[in-house]
């Protein structure tokens, strides 16, 4: 029922704007409005804060179905979870009430600030500082590659509170867009997901109350990594949706396109391509859903288990599949696939980022190797 509901919404209210959002590189406001009106913009927020309390698998299905028609729009529910999950996992009850309630209502979005110009895969090498000053912390630094920056009201920011301790000297904070000293760089000009603004976030003597720290001082990096264990699965879901959208379009096209007197879908070479695409998507789906189920058990107190491995495996496998499937979809459309008149070239461009963000697939393989079940 959930899948049917979100698919109907996505096809009616999000898909019609997907091409224009990409072409104009503009934020998909229509998608945000549609998702908020249906309470699908941040389904992971617990009911105790006014949310729908969807489990990890339901959240994955929402992201997958939105990504099937518009990858940029799928970053609304995905990044709302990424940005707010540190608060849910480690924040005080007061912090949760203060920030989860407006998120659940759709009054605000949440972004996640971990990466920096010189700290990408090596996130523990960050330079952003947070210095205690009485009942406040003063933050200075630059965060890079921040999804939905400038649109989101709230930001989970990782900053160094004790430079001597490397990763154990990093703390997490909630920073608000309206805080004095917060500003944003120009939107990045990207290959894909053009409707989701990616900007630098500048923190210039940003003075925030000490009670906006998420968890205890020095626990920020551990919270950031725990968050990624759960949210890499949402990137797997996004990749899965993009791949499914490309397969669905290609499947329809090969039944209509005729060459040599018959639909090209009648040729065995084309049939084998479609079969391989569908097989790999289904394998990615099963891995992603199993990881989501594991994520839910861990969130409910079921122990970490091998969630770190499963999340990395799902993200890595599904994004590799998405890149392969979308490239094959472009091939199946031939010259038309290479033009912007058809959606598969957009899907191919959008798929590429899923192999890069929330940890490159090379890093995922390192993570998997260190956490072999």
Does residue 339 share a domain with residue 225?
Answer: yes
Candidates 65, 116, 200, 358; catalytic one: 358
Identify the H or E element spanning 201.
strand 198-209
Q: Determine the longest span between alpha carbons in the chain, in angstroms.
A: 79
Q: Can you name the residues that pair with 75 across neighbouring β-strands? A: none
Nearest to 351 by CA among 311, 328, 320, 329: 320
Does residue 261 share a domain with residue 198?
Answer: no
pLDDT at 304: 64
| Domain range enclosing 319 | 221-370
Question: What CATH number is attached to the domain comprising 309?
Answer: 1.20.140.10
Burial class, 366, CB count within 10 angstroms (exposed 0-12 / middle 13-18 / buried 19+): middle
Classified as helix, coil or strand, 235 is helix
Q: Is 296 a catalytic residue?
A: no
Does residue 119 share a domain with residue 6?
Answer: no
Does residue 330 share a domain with residue 301?
Answer: yes
Does residue 213 share a domain with residue 158?
Answer: yes
- List pLDDT tens digits, range 224-239: 999 999 999 999 999 9
Provide the domain count of the chain: 3
pLDDT at 361: 98
Q: What is the 3-state secondary structure (H, E, C) of 117-173?
A: CCECCCHHHCCCEEEEECCEEEEEEEEEEEECCCCCCEEEEEEECCHHHHHHHEEEE
Asked whether the beta carbons of 137 and 186 are under 8 A apart, the reply is no
Nearest to 358 by CA among 216, 237, 201: 237
Classified as helix, coil or strand, 177 is coil
**Ranges under pLDDT 70 in the chain:** 303-305
Answer positive or negative: Cα dihedral of 10, 76, 59, 325. Answer: positive
DSSP class of residue 78 equals H
Does residue 152 share a domain with residue 72?
Answer: no
Question: What CATH number is attached to the domain comprising 138?
Answer: 2.40.110.10
Final residue of a structural domain among 198, 217, 236: 217
Does residue 359 share a domain with residue 227?
Answer: yes
Question: What CATH number is attached to the domain comprising 37?
Answer: 1.10.540.10
pLDDT at 300: 85
Final residue of a structural domain among 61, 77, 105: 105
Q: State the Cα–Cα distance between residues 223 and 172, nearest whole angstrom.
A: 8
Does residue 211 share a domain with residue 293?
Answer: no
Asked whether the beta carbons of 150 and 105 are under 8 A apart, the reply is no
Does residue 253 share a domain with residue 193?
Answer: no
Does residue 270 share a domain with residue 161?
Answer: no
Does residue 210 share a domain with residue 225?
Answer: no
Q: Sort strands 110-113 and 198-209 into parallel, antiparallel or unpaired.
A: unpaired
- List pLDDT tens digits, range 279-323: 999 999 999 999 999 999 998 887 666 999 999 999 999 999 999
Does residue 351 share a domain with residue 312?
Answer: yes
Final residue of a structural domain among 68, 84, 105: 105
């Amino acid at each position: 029922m959930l899948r049917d509901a979100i698919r109907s919404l996505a096809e009616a209210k999000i898909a019609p704007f997907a091409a224009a959002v990409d072409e104009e590189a503009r934020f998909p406001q229509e998608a945000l409005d549609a998702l908020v009106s249906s309470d699908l913009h941040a389904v992971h927020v617990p009911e105790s804060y006014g949310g729908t309390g969807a489990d990890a698998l339901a959240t994955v299905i929402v992201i997958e179905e939105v990504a099937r028609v518009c990858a940029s729009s799928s970053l609304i529910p995905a990044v709302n979870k990424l940005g707010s999950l540190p608060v849910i996992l480690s924040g005080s009850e007061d912090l949760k009430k203060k920030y989860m309630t407006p998120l659940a209502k759709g009054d605000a979005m949440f972004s996640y600030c971990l990466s920096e110009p010189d700290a990408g895969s090596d996130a523990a090498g960050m330079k952003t500082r947070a210095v205690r000053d009485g009942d406040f912390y003063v933050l200075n630094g630059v965060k890079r590659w921040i999804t939905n920056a400038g649109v989101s009201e709230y930001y989970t920011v990782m900053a160094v509170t004790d430079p001597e301790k490397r990763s154990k000297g990093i703390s997490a904070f909630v920073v608000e867009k309206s805080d004095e000293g917060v500003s944003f760089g120009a939107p990045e000009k990207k290959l894909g997901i053009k409707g989701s603004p990616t900007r630098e976030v500048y923190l210039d003597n940003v003075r925030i109350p000490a009670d906006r720290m998420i968890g205890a001082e020095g626990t920020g990096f551990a919270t950031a990594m725990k968050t990624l264990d759960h949210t890499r699965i949402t990137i797997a879901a996004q990749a899965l949706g993009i791949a499914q959208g490309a397969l669905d379009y290609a499947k329809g096209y090969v039944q209509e396109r005729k060459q040599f007197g018959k639909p090209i879908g009648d040729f065995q070479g084309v049939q084998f391509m479609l079969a391989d695409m569908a097989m790999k998507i289904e394998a990615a789906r099963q891995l992603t859903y199993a990881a989501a189920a594991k994520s839910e058990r861990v969130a409910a107190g079921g122990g970490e288990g091998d969630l770190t491995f499963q999340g990395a495996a799902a993200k890595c496998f599904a994004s590799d599949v998405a890149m392969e499937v979308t490239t094959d979809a472009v091939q199946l459309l031939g010259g038309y696939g290479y033009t912007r008149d058809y959606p598969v070239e957009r899907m191919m461009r959008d798929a590429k980022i899923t192999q890069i963000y929330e940890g490159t697939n090379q890093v995922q393989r390192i993570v998997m190797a260190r956490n072999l079940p």
